[in-house]
Amino acid sequence: MTDESTVIELKNLTKVYQNGVEFRALDNANLRIEKGEFVAIVGPSGSGKSTLMHLIGLLDTPSSGTLLIDGKDVTKMSDKERSGMRNRILGFVFQYHHLLPDFTALENVMMPLLIAGKSREKAKNVAEELLEKVGLEGRMDHRPGELSGGQNQRVAIARALSCSPAIVLGDEPTGNLDTKSGDMIYELLRQLNREYNQTFIVVTHNDDLASKADKIIRLVDGKITVR
């Protein structure tokens, strides 16, 4: 049974890597995440945090089990449907900013909107508004090579939010930053979460930051230990 408020549901979700030896990176994960929750995922290195994020972010496919997003079984979807969901329902922030190097900050934030088929004008308005929100109003026409790590990471967050996704995923979004900028970005995410009631799932090694989340999920050897 999935009720209205559940956005993500994992049922025995498993990811097995098979290069010679079988390796269970995610082992029978069962989990339910509610709409508007801010979830922190913690665990030692190699415990399967990124694997879980990639599965939820539809960047990877599970070996077995089911994954429901908005009540729909995404494991049975075509590439077109999955890419459509990545575009409109999911926003991904990586540890490294992963911006397109040939495009300016503004163009990078506009890109998901253009992919969604929005007009240039509409995309530009939304992107400008978001860049202002992350404090980059003066840096919109700079390319990633001309911005600092923290600035690029903020552009990446603006990009992840541009299509107003229901779910924002962050895989150590502050991992590459100093504590101060890290805290700032974390604060920004928390603030956006409260403001727009979007669901946030963030991987972090920082227990301090994790403690501020609504829910903490601990992974050990591919298994969810605390819910």
Three-state SS at 118? coil
Residue 30 near residue 10 (C-beta atoms within 8 A):
yes
The answer to the question of residue 92 lying near other proteins (CB under 8 A) is yes
Edge to edge, what strands does the sheet with 72-73 contain?
A: 21-34, 6-19, 64-69, 72-73
Q: Which is nearer to Mg ion, 62 or 127 (CB)?
A: 62
Residue 152-181 contact track with other proteins, rule CB under 8 A, x = bound: -------x---x------------------
The answer to the question of residue 50 lying near Mg ion (CB under 5 A) is yes
CB of 80 to other proteins, least distance (A): 5
Q: Determine whether 208 is exposed, middle or buried from the number of CB atoms within 10 Å of its CB (0-12, 13-18, 19+).
A: exposed
Structure tokens at 11: 């049922």
What string of H, E and C letters represents the secondary structure of 168-227?
EEEECCCCCCCHHHHHHHHHHHHHHHHHHCCEEEEECCCHHHHCCCCEEEEEECCEEEEC
Q: Point out which span in 18-26, 82-90, 174-182, 199-207 binds other proteins (CB under 8 A).
A: 82-90
Read off the DSSP letter of residue 21.
Answer: E
The answer to the question of residue 78 lying near ligand ATP (CB under 6 A) is no
Q: Point out which span in 40-48, 63-71, 146-154, 162-170 binds ligand ATP (CB under 6 A).
A: 40-48
Number of residues that bind ligand ATP (CB under 6 A): 12
Residue ranges in contact with ligand ATP by CB under 6 A: 17, 19, 23, 25, 43, 45-51
Residue ranges in contact with Mg ion by CB under 5 A: 50
Residue ranges in contact with other proteins by CB under 8 A: 54, 57, 59-60, 79-80, 83-88, 90, 92, 94, 98-103, 111-112, 114-116, 159, 163
